[in-house]
Structure 1
Amino acid sequence: MTKSNNVYSLIIGGSSGMGLATAQQLAEQGHSIIIVGRDADKLASAKVRLELLTREFNSQVHAWQEDLYDTESVNHLIARIDTFDGHIKQLVNAAGYFNPKAFSEHSVDDYELYMGLNRSIFFVTQAVVNNMKAHHGGEIVNIGSMWAHQAIKATPSSAYSMAKAGLHAFTQHLAMELADSNIRVNAVAPAVVKTPIYNSFIDPSELDQALAGFNAFHPIGRIGKVDDIANAITFLLSDKASWVTGAIWNIDGGVMAGRN
């Protein structure tokens, strides 16, 4: 199997969690990959893993260290995209932050952690779309959230849910605007999935035990794995989903269907 080395999949937040799982699946299919993250060690480790997967395809792997919370870094990332010598055919916006907090306890600073991330995603996506238009098309998948659809009392998440609901709306508006440019835009909305996103408020050594309490929350009877989400993302990016745009898929173990 041979793919063009000049066609790339860009995964924002691709050094861990759902983003890395998606990057690995795409690498296994022979895609050239660009991952973006802010932790140098995680990026380096992820790059090594991806290079092993792409070796037989002679595909390229780039790891760009950028901080979506830093304006200068975001501008640098946008400049990289603007001058990139290749077709960024696929974009996955997988960067995220989650720290449940009561509405009355939110400060401006932690509110901005969510909204600032959305702002960065907005303008980075804009730069990628310009690249896609110049190369006659592409596919975008945003990682939204079940929390954007409904509130869960055990995890008060007003700011997070507000940001993710905005990302869902962003997905649908882009799908309408970009259809004529041969660019499809979709989103996935996971429920509880074991990823490092929970490390912001749960000790990693206690994560398995803490998340096990959410198994019964899902009608299927277990929390999600990163590959459960990556499977859906890679399908939405593929030609098999060529008639799908503007969709927000609940990849949630049945949570939005009902409760046990």
Structure 2
Amino acid sequence: MSELSGQVAIVTGGSSGIGAASVELLAQAGATVIATDIQPRTGGTGRFVHHDVTSEEAWKALLADVLGREGRLDILVNNAGVSGGWGTVESTTVEQWRQVEAINSEGVFLGCKYAIEGMKVTGAGKPESKGSIVNVSSIAALIGSAGPAAYSASKGAVRLLSKSVALHCAEKKYGIRCNSVHPGGIDTPIFNPLWQAMGHEKGKEMIGSHHPIGRMGEPEEIGEMILWLASDRSRFVTGAEFTSDGGVTAGLMRRSGFAS
């Protein structure tokens, strides 16, 4: 497959989980991929850049680096994120709130801002599709729960920011699309505290039981959706939200306090 041949993609949080799966799938489709993270990356496709998504200067430096070395930017996957714990509105501290919002919400805002800057000049050259921004949100942006309060708020912000970015780019006729992805429980390092407490297989079984489909999702299953949104196969899609949650949001959850 070479549908993304000649295109350049940035994937934040690319060292593990959904980010790492997206890096591999985009590369397999022919894209040149830059994986960014604050965590080290061992192996994998593409080149790695250490990058703090909460820093505006880091975003400026990343864009300059990519345009200088690869000469263009066509795809951004805003995937970097943290859970920030499972605190309610009462138990969450201001410091915890600000950390989660800085990474999950402000980091996505900065990514969109500077991706647009790069894509306006160096997009794919097709009037109908010059660039694609895919923001990884969560089912926590679609349904309420008592906790985690900060995480839910941050992912809700990503959902509506994505629509704002999409409409702005459409009105400006930039040819840049923006959409959000909303995973359910995916087997990623965000659940490491649970895996350490219960064991990986037992933990997966427990989380999977909350999904009508009967299991947790795998990072590659979200990566496939991201690949589709990054490609011209979705060229008429912008400002939309895509849920991949094993049926969780189709009905009431049996127990509160769960989100990807």
Which structure 2 residues correspond to residues 152-163 of structure 1 after superposition, within 5 A? Answer: 152=145, 156-163=147-154
**What is the deviation of 1:186?**
0.5
Which structure 2 residues correspond to residues 169-188 of structure 1 after superposition, within 5 A? Answer: 169-179=160-170, 180-188=173-181
Q: Are the aligned partners of 2:216 and 2:246 in contact in 1 as well (CA < 8 Å)? A: yes
Runs of at least 5 residues in structure 2 that lack an aligned partner in the other structure: 124-129, 255-260
In structure 2, distance between residues paired with 1:196 and 1:190: 14
Say which of 217, 226, 230 aligns to 1:237: 230
Q: Secondary structure at the match of 2:115?
A: helix
Q: Is the alpha carbon distance of 1:202 and 1:221 closer, same or farther for their aligned partners in structure 2, counting shifts above 3 Å?
A: closer
In structure 1, distance between residues paired with 2:243 and 2:93: 30
Q: Is the alpha carbon distance of 1:187 and 1:3 closer, same or farther for their aligned partners in structure 2, counting shifts above 3 Å?
A: closer
Q: Are the aligned partners of 2:59 and 2:110 in contact in 1 as well (CA < 8 Å)? A: no
Residue 26 (structure 2) aligns with: 26
**What is the deviation of 1:68?**
2.8
Residue 94 (structure 2) aligns with: 108
TM-score, normalising length: structure 2: 0.85
Which structure 2 residues correspond to residues 38-117 of structure 1 after superposition, within 5 A? Answer: 38-40=38-40, 43=41, 45=42, 48-50=43-45, 61-69=46-54, 71=55, 74-82=56-64, 84-85=67-68, 86-98=71-83, 99-117=85-103
Runs of at least 5 residues in structure 1 that lack an aligned partner in the other structure: 51-60
Q: Are the aligned partners of 1:6 and 1:87 in contact in 2 as well (CA < 8 Å)? A: no
**What is the deviation of 1:205?**
7.0
**What is the deviation of 1:239?**
1.0
Deviations 1:188-229 (A, max 9, x none): 101111100122565277233223112222111111111111
In structure 1, distance between residues paired with 2:6 and 2:220: 26
**What is the deviation of 1:231?**
1.0
Deviations 1:54-75 (A, max 9, x none): xxxxxxx221012234x3xx41
Q: Secondary structure at the match of 1:223?
A: coil
Q: Secondary structure at the match of 1:124?
A: helix
Q: Percent identity?
A: 28
**What is the deviation of 1:158?**
1.1
Q: Comparing 111-120 with 20-29, which one deviates more in the overlay?
A: 111-120
Q: How many residues align?
A: 240
In structure 2, distance between residues paired with 1:4 and 1:199: 33
Q: Is the alpha carbon distance of 1:204 and 1:185 closer, same or farther for their aligned partners in structure 2, counting shifts above 3 Å?
A: farther
In structure 1, distance between residues paired with 2:63 and 2:181: 24
TM-score, normalising length: structure 1: 0.85
Deviations 1:121-149 (A, max 9, x none): 21232111111001242001000010111
